């Protein structure tokens, strides 16, 4: 490997003539171990720390068998079952095994009998020698077979449960061909064969319990695991190690402890065997936990380390299970260890012996070079260089290199073949190519030796921030540059970053705020917190600066995270009120999807910038701890994120962490009503004096239950939805009524479980009961009836009077209407008389004039023709008037018949309008005809439509003053046509808009008193006969618009 050649060269190379540069030498070696164990012991509430048996039931509870009682665990608390004389209890406190049958009953083996726990009723049934329900009290293992047989091993044979007799019967003893009646372990293979471990070896039995095979052993077989997928049976012994039996070849291979081989079985006494869902075979021994490595037929061993709280809780392993999440539970002589075998979050830490990649757990400074080596700084042990591919590491410190003046590392970065390390005594430049180290300090021009941050900009300068100010190192020319023109001497520079736009962002720690040096600027602009201004930066103590792909600058401070927009100069804050784990921000990384990851004093928070959500990770998710360090965050070229803290280093790919989804159902965990315990309250009714109801629940996500919160509501009460981190809620003094309690779990990533509901009710007191309400109702009805009779007389009297008044009002209204009709008729007759008298007078006068002229024989031919024309026109006028009267009468009586035929309505309207052009021009009015289409054929009576057009245009001309306009438009409405006559005349009051088309009605103004008033009435009736409509739009002084809408075919509905 390259790193081996590189380190060999470092060790052997020396330099001549350069005293400040010395070769790197004396590098240590380590092997990787990075499982994180979360441990539970008696301090957390378990009845006793020796865990002989572990089982997860169908609901998700974890059952733990100890030497002092049975424990049921829900992730929050333990419910303990102990032996109690003369009570409903287990038969003995020494638990040996636990299982569950198809009915949900929990079966518990003890050193003195078998017990069945009915979870629904909490009734415990005992099966002991004393009550005659089992032959031998000393029970070992219990299983439920695929055929739902319950088998129990004892010191005197194999027993099967007889459901009819509710007892256990012995079905196999030594006389039946098994090696020994003393049975320690039982398992069933995929074919239904039963394997039993005895004090003398192993027996394979058929489904009907006939002995098929026998394997002798030098010691007792304490446990068996049928590894069906791989064709093996694994057997753990008391002192002969681990046996692997090939079920096809019958070959037996033995694994025992070899003191000289660290990868051998850690002890010869095996307490538990299991293969997890990821394919790992785990073996628990009296000297540690072992994972079988099938590639090299060896074991990876995990033991307790006194100095490592994340190591196995104790070496003596008694039991192992895998829960539904894929998390392993390891029961030991002194507590339980829980761990995820394939966590997406890698963990690197330090230890006193071989097996650790870090020299110290306190991490400051992380960098991955171009060759893939990870450089990790420590607080007091120098720099670690990790080859993650081969799980090896080497270190550089004062102890192995005299150029290094401090082991206290603050930051690490790189440029080409150089690695730069910030320390409490200056800056180290490690030349990987030449294998040398150079130290920069005050003598070389640094303004301060306690260097807190280093950063390589795009101009190949190393920015050096210290507790006393800012320097630059010209890397190519190896020259230190003073930056006091930009940053005052004595300033505590905590972080330096260059943005995409070329601006430099400088974070100060001692309330110095944020400094920005824009491109081509010779000064630094400072941004500080402004009290009560939430658009200013949240804190003046800056710890980390980064940038997303959109150019937003993300700033970690001692009080929250800030997003700075360089365009608007505005800061947006993110604090615990927005969901992040803690306000002290140590590191800020941006993943490839622009999500922001921050390390804090309470874990790591992810801000999803697209969905504006926050997800939190804690130590239960696999973090080195909840507390992290400054300048201990790094993103590699591959997108992997690194965060260092007080207990080591974590590494993960964001997409792997985000893919974790532990969505699980919520389980109700019991109820307490007025201090009385209930297993279930669904459908129950409680007295109205119920003071409090406690509802307990949990979700079986044990690896991260501390990150679970619960959203709940009580439907039927006045309380609204709420959220709690507790696994219970209490309601006090609920009012009578029906209630539905609803709860669902929400994990740190925002995954939400399905809702779990339960219904109960509080009884009404007697005075609110249905019987009482019925009595109240009867009384109310009697009262209402009594009042009803009293009110009836008054009601009849009021109605009588009201009726008289209404009848009188109707008569008055009829009189008023009749009077109005008479008035309109009178007006109509007056107008009609006027219309008749005027042409008659003209005709009479003309005739008299002709008579006088004829007597004198003084009339000329042209004059005669002129007067005859006058007489004829007035006769025609009279005739038209009489025809209008007759037509109106016919139209009103619906005796009028239309002569329908196909007509080009555009042509008809245009030609009709043009016949009136002389009359219109004589009044100095402009006529505009504006059809939208050139032709539109409809079915109509052309003569009657012509009359309508003449009436409307004549009316428009009549009421339009000189210089006005009359505009005629025709619009095609598909199956209809609209004809509009718009004038700029005097207009019509709105109150006449509906009555203007009625017979005998005329608008009451001086200009409208002439005429019979029949034109609009006739027009309206003609349009109605055509199944069309007519209406007017008008305002006084603004003119009128008469609109006719005709169907293309009146015969169609």
Which segments of 637-778 are extended strands (E)?
A: 641-645, 648-652, 667-673, 676-678, 685-686, 692-698, 709-715, 722-724, 728-732, 737-746, 756-762
Residue 657: the pLDDT is 83
Residues 6 or more apart whose CB falls under 8 angstroms from that of 675 comprise none
* Alpha carbons within 13 A on the beta-carbon side of 833: 6
- Rounded to whole angstroms, the Cα distance separating 582 from 630 reads 14
pLDDT-based confidence at residue 887 (cuts at 50, 70, 90): low
Name the 3-class secondary structure at 466: strand
Range of lowest pLDDT (229-243, 578-592, 627-641, 1012-1026)? 1012-1026
Convert the pLDDT of each residue in 105-151 to its tens digit: 999 999 999 999 999 999 999 999 999 999 999 999 999 999 999 99
Q: Give the other-Cβ count within 10 Å of 518's Cβ.
A: 15
Residues 6 or more apart whose CB falls under 8 angstroms from that of 301 comprise 262, 263, 266, 288, 289, 290
Residue 870: the pLDDT is 72
Residue 805: the pLDDT is 87
Residues 6 or more apart whose CB falls under 8 angstroms from that of 358 comprise 348, 349, 350, 376, 378, 384, 386, 393, 648, 649
Identify whether the C-beta of residue 542 lies closer than 8 Å to the C-beta of residue 557.
yes
pLDDT-based confidence at residue 16 (cuts at 50, 70, 90): very low
Range of lowest pLDDT (803-817, 844-858, 960-974)? 844-858
**Residue 7: pLDDT over 70:** no
Residues 6 or more apart whose CB falls under 8 angstroms from that of 632 comprise 363, 364, 365, 366, 586, 587, 599, 642, 643, 644, 645, 649
Place of tokens 């941004």: 527
- Rounded to whole angstroms, the Cα distance separating 462 from 13 reads 27
Convert the pLDDT of each residue in 75-112 to its tens digit: 999 999 999 998 899 999 999 999 999 999 999 999 99
pLDDT-based confidence at residue 884 (cuts at 50, 70, 90): low
**Residue 814: pLDDT over 90:** no
**Residue 355: pLDDT over 90:** no
Residue 177: the pLDDT is 94
Convert the pLDDT of each residue in 306-334 to its tens digit: 888 889 999 999 999 999 989 999 999 99
Convert the pLDDT of each residue in 936-982 to its tens digit: 999 999 988 998 998 899 899 999 999 999 999 999 999 999 999 99
Residue 20: the pLDDT is 34
Residue 26: the pLDDT is 34
Paired residues of 213 in beta bridges = 204
Mean pLDDT of 912-922: 89
Name the 3-class secondary structure at 887: helix
Measured CA angle at 304 (ends 299, 306), to 5 deg: 150
With a pLDDT cut of 70, the percent of the chain lying above it is 90
Residue 283: the pLDDT is 99
Residue 766: the pLDDT is 82
**Residue 22: pLDDT over 70:** no
Residue 828: the pLDDT is 59
Mean pLDDT of 1014-1021: 84
Q: Give the other-Cβ count within 10 Å of 713's Cβ.
A: 17
Residue 738: the pLDDT is 96
Q: Which domains does the chain have, with CATH numbers?
A: 50-276 (2.130.10.10), 667-763 (2.60.40.10), 770-886 (1.10.287.130), 898-1047 (3.30.565.10)
The two beta strands, 926-931 and 728-732, are unpaired
**Residue 834: pLDDT over 70:** no
Residue 1008: the pLDDT is 42
Name the 3-class secondary structure at 49: coil
H-helix or E-strand spanning residue 835: helix 770-856
Residue 255: the pLDDT is 98
**Residue 629: pLDDT over 80:** yes
CA-based nearest residue to 543, from 571, 507, 596 = 507
Convert the pLDDT of each residue in 480-510 to its tens digit: 999 988 998 899 999 999 999 999 999 999 8
Q: What is the full DSSP assignment across 468-536?
A: TEEEEEETTTTEEEE-TTTS-TT--EEEEEE-TTS-EEEEESSS--EEEE-TT-SS-EEE---TT-TTS
pLDDT-based confidence at residue 9 (cuts at 50, 70, 90): very low
Convert the pLDDT of each residue in 407-463 to its tens digit: 999 999 999 999 999 999 999 999 999 999 999 999 999 999 999 999 999 999 999
Query: Global pTM?
Result: 0.67
- Rounded to whole angstroms, the Cα distance separating 400 from 421 reads 16
Identify whether the C-beta of residue 703 lies closer than 8 Å to the C-beta of residue 327.
yes
**Tokens for 603?**
């874990």
Convert the pLDDT of each residue in 651-668 to its tens digit: 999 988 865 455 678 999
- Rounded to whole angstroms, the Cα distance separating 1026 from 979 reads 14
Paired residues of 590 in beta bridges = 596
**Residue 268: pLDDT over 70:** yes
CA-based nearest residue to 622, from 585, 650, 663, 664 = 650
Residue 1: the pLDDT is 27
Paired residues of 347 in beta bridges = 650
**Tokens for 778?**
């009867």
Residue 560: the pLDDT is 98
């Amino acid at each position: 490997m390259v790193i081996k050649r590189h380190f060999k060269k470092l060790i052997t190379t020396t330099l001549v003539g350069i005293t400040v540069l010395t070769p790197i030498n004396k590098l240590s070696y380590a092997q990787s171990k990075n499982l994180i164990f979360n441990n539970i012991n008696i301090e957390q509430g378990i009845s006793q720390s020796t865990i002989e048996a572990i089982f997860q039931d169908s609901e998700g509870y974890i059952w733990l068998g100890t030497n002092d009682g049975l424990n049921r665990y829900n992730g929050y608390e333990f419910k303990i079952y102990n032996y109690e004389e003369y009570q409903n209890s287990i038969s003995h406190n020494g638990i040996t095994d636990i299982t569950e049958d198809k009915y949900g009953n929990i079966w518990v083996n003890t050193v003195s009998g078998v017990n069945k726990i009915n979870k629904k009723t909490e009734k415990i049934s005992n099966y002991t020698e004393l009550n005659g329900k089992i032959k031998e009290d000393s029970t070992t293992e219990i299983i439920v077979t695929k055929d739902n047989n319950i088998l129990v091993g004892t010191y005197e044979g194999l027993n099967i449960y007889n459901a009819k007799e509710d007892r256990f019967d012995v079905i196999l003893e030594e006389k039946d061909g098994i090696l020994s009646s003393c049975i320690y372990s039982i398992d069933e293979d995929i074919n239904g064969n039963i394997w039993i471990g005895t004090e003398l070896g192993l027996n394979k039995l058929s489904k009907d319990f006939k002995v098929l095979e026998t394997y002798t052993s030098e010691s007792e077989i304490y446990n068996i695991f049928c590894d069906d997928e791989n064709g093996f049976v694994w057997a753990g012994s008391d002192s002969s190690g681990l046996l692997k039996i090939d079920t096809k070849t019958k070959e037996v291979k033995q694994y025992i402890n070899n003191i000289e081989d660290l990868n051998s079985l850690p002890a010869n006494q095996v307490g538990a065997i299991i293969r997890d869902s990821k394919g790992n075979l785990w073996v628990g021994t009296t000297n540690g936990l072992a994972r079988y490595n099938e590639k090299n037929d060896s074991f990876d061993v995990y033991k307790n380390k006194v100095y490592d709280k994340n190591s196995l809780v104790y070496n003596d392993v008694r039991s192992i299970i895998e829960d539904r999440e894929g998390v392993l539970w390891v029961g030991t002589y002194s507590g339980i260890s829980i761990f995820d075998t394939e966590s997406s979050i890698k963990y690197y830490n330090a230890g006193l012996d071989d097996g650790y990649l870090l020299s110290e757990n306190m991490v400051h400074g992380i960098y991955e070079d171009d060759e893939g080596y990870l450089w990790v700084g420590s607080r007091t042990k120098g720099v670690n260089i990790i080859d993650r591919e081969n799980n090896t590491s080497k270190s550089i410190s004062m102890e192995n290199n005299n150029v290094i003046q401090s082991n206290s590392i603050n930051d690490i970065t790189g440029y080409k073949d150089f690695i730069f390390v910030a320390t409490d005594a200056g800056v180290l430049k490690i030349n990987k190519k030449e294998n040398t180290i150079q130290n920069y300090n005050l003598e070389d021009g640094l303004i301060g030796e306690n260097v807190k941050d280093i950063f390589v900009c795009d101009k190949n300068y190393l920015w050096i921030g210290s507790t006393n100010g800012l320097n630059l190192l010209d890397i190519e020319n190896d020259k230190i540059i003073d930056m006091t023109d930009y940053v005052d001497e004595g300033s505590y520079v905590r972080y330096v970053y260059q943005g995409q736009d070329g601006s430099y962002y400088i974070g100060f720690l001692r309330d110095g705020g944020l400094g920005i040096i824009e491109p081509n600027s010779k000064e630094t602009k400072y941004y500080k917190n402004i009290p009560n201004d939430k658009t200013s930066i949240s804190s003046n103590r800056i710890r980390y600066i980064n940038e997303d792909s959109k150019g937003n600058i993300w700033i970690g401070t001692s009080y929250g995270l800030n997003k700075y927009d360089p365009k608007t100069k505005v800061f947006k804050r993110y604090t615990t009120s927005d969901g992040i784990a803690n306000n002290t921000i140590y590191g800020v990384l941006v993943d490839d999807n622009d999500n922001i990851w921050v390390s804090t004093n309470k874990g790591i928070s992810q801000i999803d910038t697209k969905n504006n959500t926050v997800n939190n990770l804690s130590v239960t998710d696999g973090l080195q701890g909840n507390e992290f360090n400054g300048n201990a965050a790094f993103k590699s070229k591959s997108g992997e994120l690194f965060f260092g803290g007080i207990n080591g280093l974590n590494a993960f790919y964001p997409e792997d962490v985000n893919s974790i989804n532990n969505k699980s159902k919520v389980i109700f965990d019991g109820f307490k009503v007025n201090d009385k315990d209930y297993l279930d309250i669904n459908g129950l009714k409680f007295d109205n004096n119920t003071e409090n109801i406690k509802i307990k629940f949990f979700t079986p996500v044990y690896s991260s239950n501390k990150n679970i919160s619960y959203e709940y509501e009580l439907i039927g009460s006045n309380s609204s939805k709420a959220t709690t981190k507790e696994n219970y809620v209490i309601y006090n003094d609920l009012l009578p009524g029906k209630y539905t309690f609803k709860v669902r779990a929400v994990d740190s990533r925002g995954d939400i479980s399905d809702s779990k509901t339960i219904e109960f009710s509080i009884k009404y007191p007697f005075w609110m009961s249905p019987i009482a309400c019925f009595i109240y109702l009867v009384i109310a009805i009697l009262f209402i009836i009594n009042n009803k009779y009293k009110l009836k007389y008054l009601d009849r009297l009021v109605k009588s009077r009201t009726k008289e008044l209404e009848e009188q009002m109707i008569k008055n209204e009829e009189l008023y209407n009749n009077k109005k009709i008479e008035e309109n008729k009178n007006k109509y007759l007056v107008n009609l008389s006027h219309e008749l008298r005027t042409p008659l007078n003209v005709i009479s006068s003309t005739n008299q004039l002709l008579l006088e002229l004829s007597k004198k024989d003084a009339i000329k031919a042209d004059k005669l023709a002129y007067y005859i024309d006058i007489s004829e026109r007035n006769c025609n006028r009279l005739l038209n008037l009489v025809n209008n009267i007759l037509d109106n009468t016919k139209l009103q009586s619906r005796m009028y018949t239309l002569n329908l035929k196909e007509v080009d309505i555009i042509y008809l309207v245009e030609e009709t309008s043009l016949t009136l052009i002389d009359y219109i021009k004589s009044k100095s009015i402009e006529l505009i005809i504006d059809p939208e289409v050139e032709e539109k054929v409809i079915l109509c009576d052309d003569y009657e439509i012509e009359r309508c057009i003449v009436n409307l245009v004549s009316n428009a001309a009549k009421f339009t003053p000189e210089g006005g306009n009359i505009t005629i438009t025709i619009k095609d409405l598909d199956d209809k046509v609209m004809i509009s006559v718009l004038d700029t005349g005097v207009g019509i009051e709105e109150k006449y808009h509906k009555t203007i088309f009625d017979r005998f009605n005329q608008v009451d103004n001086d200009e409208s008193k002439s005429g019979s008033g029949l034109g609009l009435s006739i027009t309206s009736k003609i349009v109605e006969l055509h199944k069309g409509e007519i209406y007017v739009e008008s305002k006084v002084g603004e003119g009128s618009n008469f609109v006719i809408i005709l169907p293309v075919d009146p015969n169609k509905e």
